[in-house]
Structure 1
Amino acid sequence: MNPEPIIAPSMWEKPDRSTTAGEAIATPSLTYWQDVRQRLWANKPAVISIGFIVVLILAAIFGPLISPFSYFEQNLRLSNIPPVFETYRVSDDTGNNTRFFLNASNFNLYQVSEGGQVEGLLRGGRKDILKKRQGFEFGNTDIVLDYSSRPARLLRADGTTLRPEGWQWNMTYVFGTDQLGRDVLVRQLYGARISLLVAFVATLVNFFIGIFYGGIAGYIGGKTDAVMMRIVEIISTIPLMLYVILLMVVLNSGLISIVVAIGSVFWVDMARMVRGQILTLKQQDYVAAARTMGAGTGRILTRHLLPNSIGPILVTLTMLIPSAIFIESFMSFIGLGVTPPMASWGTLTSEAVETMRAYPHQLFFPAAAISLTMFAFNFLGDGLRDALDPRMRR
């Protein structure tokens, strides 16, 4: 008896070579920057941060241009108006309806349209200081504002309380107004211009001074490196915030003083980081090959060393930008920043602190803008760090 074959004859059939499916490339080859972009877009916090930064830049550039108000225009009759309010409606004997809202912080009534536009301040009768009351006439209908207790109440002639009809968003001043009746939204957007300008200056300073200063020190080395880094250490011994304050006291307050102060010292951390990268990369074989072929110091730095350090440079840059924005906001907060009537997030925060309990919305918007901007740049820096690191590739 012949033993049964261990392998079935059908398994010895020749494969079908008419199809090229086996030769298809399952995953297309990507360049380094294509792979970086793919990993960056897969990072949702970084993508959201990019979108927020783009929207912020566009709003800061075009927002004040299309706004019907300017950042310095004052209207004391419409001061301290909130962005959201409860509306009331009063009808007289002729059938006319008057829609208004009560600002419970300054005990004023403001007429508002059906669409939510603030039309003006309603004038009432003389205030009774002792009884803490004020009367208002709406045709044949009388309303009494009683602010003897908190919250203030609106009373009809028969003593019953006038009930609000609902909440309404302020469509004239979307973010409300400040203590001088200026539109908070347009001042917020103008403050974004100041902060983004400071961020742009910090970027240029880090690029043109910090990168090349650290690159030259790290590549040349020796006594040149020692002298250049001692200068960096001397600047670093003084705290950055104190140095900026001292420099701005000498130059007086203003936007130009902030730019000069930040531009003169903000490149130190970038120079140190680039120097460390260059010290590591200059020992590589491709640098020795370029030097053997007669490439000069400038060409080796700009064509070989700095491009290979672009990953850490971009990450450090995105981390330093929110620091520059915070420094400008802090300087403006303590009175050493931009001068009135110019607006920045720091000055808006400083002005709002004085009326924080009565008008918290004036503090919320600039504080939220500073926080969201710093979060956006930090998330973007984290995303770039992960995307530029080849070891993070799955």
Structure 2
Amino acid sequence: MLAPYATIERESRGRLHAEDGSAHRSAFQRDRDRIIHCSAFRRLKHKTQVFVEHEGDYFRTRLTHSIEVAQVARTISRTLGLNEDLAEAVALAHDLGHPPFGHTGEDALAEVMAPYGGFDHNAQALKIVTDLEQHYAEWDGLNLTWETLEGIAKHNGPVSVQTDGDALPFALAEYDARHDLELDSHAGAEAQVAALADDIAYNNHDLHDGLRAGLFTAEDIIRLPIIGRCFAQVDRLWPGLDADRRRHEALRRVFGVMVEDVLQESRRLLREAQPGSAAEVRALGAPVIRFSPAMWADLKVIRAFLFANMYRHWTVRRMRRKAARVVRELFEDFMADPGMLPQDWSVAALEARSDTLRARIVADYIAGMTDRFAIEEHRALRGEMKRG
């Protein structure tokens, strides 16, 4: 039984290209399955979160992160009476547009694309599922439902008004012109769940990965809010527990605290707003799936610690500098000589009617690369990217 404010399949706005329904799966289950089976989803296996893909087998990749986000999204959605399948589909797709080398690669690609309309990973994810995945006989893209596309485009909030003064990302504007995603409103509650699930997952696994990498110790993070209480609880229950189990038990509790906070705060907001439909959720003008103010304040302290001790750690900064150079130089080389692209890509780039269109083709190609493939392409063109 779904809550009144959940997204109901029979009220879906459908797909850009009409299709017959399935006898065995809901429309949102089909969206989820198409995402899982697409090429871009498989490539997430070799795209980094914080560490470059070759730096260790135990660190999170975009693929493992997306699976974790989907798990959290299903838990929250089920508890709040939302549509689990839609939340899962958005969660699984939310990182499809990330280029190689995580946010470092995105920043580098945004820099070189600044004269050509910029680059945004959410917009790129939308382009992938509506255009670049070209496997079906009747259309380009995956032909996902309007609700899933809306969630991919604006799970972090409205995007038609850019607070930093930048123009609407090109890929979003291009698709919205032919299939209105109502970019000036918040998405439905399921997409909002996917966004919070993303926050929960990366806050937790960045702590795990930073500890595993030796960038900081358990004693360093015990003084942080939430985390200290969880370690103290584990120490009371299992005094003398070995370090690895102690860390795991504490961080799984941190995970649970974040999920429980979202559930309590979201229940409160939903009770106050009393939305009677998914459309009313969109019309509220503010998200209804949120952390409490106290939790948000604590998480900002944790993120500040991670920024100083993980994202800005000298070993991470060194590799990020090299990764950014790889992306910039690949872009420069392919723009200077599009004939070096694979045949289908080079034909399109050489026939492009403007530098902007050519740059977008080059950016699409680079954004689709995995970490290892980008390194190999750079090595072939410029020489080896040294490790370490």
TM-score normalized with structure 1 length? 0.23
Q: Which protein has the bigger helix share? A: 2
TM-score normalized with structure 2 length? 0.23
Q: Which protein has the bigger strand share? A: 1
In our comparison, the structure showing a higher alpha carbon Rg is 1
